[in-house]
Amino acid sequence: MLDAAGIEQALRRLGREISTRNTPATRLVLIGIRTRGVPLAMRLGALIKSDTGTDVPVGTIDITLYRDDLKARQGRPMQATHIPCLLDARHVVLVDDVLYTGRTVRAAMDALTDFGRPLSVQLAVLVDRGHREFPIQADYVGTILETAHDEQVRVQVSETDGHDDITLMEAARQEA
Amino acid sequence: MSSISFRGRDLLDVETLSAEDIQHILDAVPSFKEVSERDIKKVPTLRGKTVINLFFEPSTRTRTSFEIAGKRLSADVVNISVATSSVSKGESLRDMADNLAAMQADVLIVRHHVAGVPHFLARSVPQPVINAGDGAHEHPTQALLDVFTLQEKWGSLQDRSALIVGDIASSRVARSNVLAMRKLGMQVCVCGPRTMLPAGLDQLGVESTSDLDEAIQSTDVVMMLRMQRERHKDVLFPSLAEYAERYCLTGERLRRAKEGVVVMHPGPINRGVEIAPEVADGLASVILQQVTNGVAVRMALLYLILGGG
């Protein structure tokens, strides 16, 4: 659906939108949601740095302990949460690869509030595929995909998968 | 993705765990350690779950550790100790467990001075049971936190050597640790007076000695056990002073050990009996790290057993 060049273009635009809305960028912090939100947040941090000259702290959050479907996620390996600075008096941009039901973002917001009281929490996603189950929407969207419930949007990034692309897959082949 | 799951399982001993089972638990621990390092040391993971600490034997450290672990995961934790329970009114163990189960507890954590009680309860109630120490049999969560502490320091435990010193025969800590360490590829030697060394050590691939001064020279970790005076009906050694003379880990003895040797103790420590204060508080000691890790290991276990897999 989107190749490496398309992803790069989308991220550049997201970076500009984020820094435009949050001027000066010195009060900004990016938090990537595990797993693929993390490399995307780091890329956005680098893009904002080259646009504005400001080093924006980038953190990571694993929302496993905040999920509302613990029993459905068997064997999901947990990873470290790392919040790089105090969140109070900062604008936080959560970064994830795909926005779908909104449950992950809901859990991430719960987790964030355990670390402090940000000035605001915003959401940046590479793909919005619809089918929300919570009243949540993204502030920054890379691309919108029309999908069916039983389809799977697979985002691959070079940091974890060797290359960048976004594909729409049949349910049967969805990743675990 | 791992096919191992602890969901709904009991944790009764190390003996029936595989090396992969142990690693599956240990791999989950760092995330929970991170929660304990936050300002707000609480996550909502086990909201609405009820954890019952059923302790038929005095315990401060283990009971508190389980209680803190449950509370950091937002579970409701109920402590029942034998002095306040209806066992003193003649209720049988089985009836008591059935009643707790009928109150929809989600997990029972059991300590008892008789070996096998947690196993008996696990067969009697539908809920998962965690053994928090049964007689001289096993204390699996202690061994898990001990090997986690060593992995945190060294990475792989393969071919590392351990020396466990004290009353080996009546120590559930020693037994669980020997099993866990062997499964993870360590060489284990136990050390104590002959009267305190059990039979059948060679079947476990464990060496034994009564000479601490010699054995300490070649080990990567030395684990001192508490002299459990309350367990000794018979006289196994002439006096505490004489025991300390030969088996107390003093600064002088520790200087014979390899550079970088790690000193462990499951607590509570008898300063001056099995370990000298200068060693317990010294640079080689990880005794308080063991306590910190104990909470994280028990959080990981509660999480895995109550849903996380």
Any idea where the domains of chain A sit in the sequence? Answer: 4-173
Q: B234 to chain A nearest CA, in Å? A: 48
Query: How does pLDDT run across B135-190, given as a tens digit for each residue?
Result: 999 999 999 999 999 999 999 999 999 999 999 999 999 999 999 999 999 999 99
A99 and A145 Cβ atoms separated by less than 8 Å: no
Q: Which residues in chain B are closer than 8 Å to A115, comparing Cβ atoms? A: 38-40
Q: Residue ranges of the domains in chain B?
A: 19-138+293-308, 140-290
Longest alpha-carbon distance in chain A = 46
Query: How does pLDDT run across B55-105, given as a tens digit for each residue?
Result: 998 899 999 999 999 999 999 999 998 766 666 666 788 888 888 889 999
Query: How does pLDDT run across B18-50, given as a tens digit for each residue?
Result: 999 999 999 999 999 999 999 899 999 999 999
Whether A126 has a pLDDT exceeding 80, the answer reads: yes
Output the pTM of the full model: 0.90
What is the count of residue pairs from A and B with beta carbons less than 8 Å apart?
53
Class of domain A4-173: alpha beta
**Which of B31, B36, B37 is the best mutation test for A, with the most CBs of A within 10 A?**
B31
Q: Which of A70, A97, A126 is nearest to B304 (CA)?
A: A70
B279: phi then psi, degrees, rounded to nearest 5 = -85, -45
Q: Is B229 on the interface with A (CB under 8 A)?
A: no
In whole angstroms, give the CA distance from residue A8 to residue A166.
12
Would you call A75 and B2 a contact, using CB atoms and an 8 Å cutoff?
yes
- Residue ranges of alpha helices (H) inside chain B are 19-36, 61-72, 93-102, 117-124, 140-154, 172-183, 212-215, 240-247, 251-254, 277-280, 287-303
Q: Do domains B19-138+293-308 and B140-290 have the same CATH topology?
A: yes
Q: B29 to chain A nearest CA, in Å? A: 9
In whole angstroms, give the CA distance from residue A135 to residue A155.
23
Q: Is A75 on the interface with B (CB under 8 A)?
A: yes
Q: B19 to chain A nearest CA, in Å? A: 17
Q: B206 to chain A nearest CA, in Å? A: 34
The CATH number for B140-290, chosen from 3.40.50.11540, 3.30.1300.10, 3.40.50.1370, 3.90.1150.10, is 3.40.50.1370
Tokens matching residue A87: 């969140």
Q: Which residues in chain A are closer than 8 Å to B308, comparing Cβ atoms? A: 64, 70, 73, 76
**Which of B5, B43, B71 is the best mutation test for A, with the most CBs of A within 10 A?**
B43
CATH dotted code for B19-138+293-308: 3.40.50.1370
Whether A77 has a pLDDT exceeding 80, the answer reads: no
Report the residue from A70, A81, A176 with minimal CB separation from B308: A70
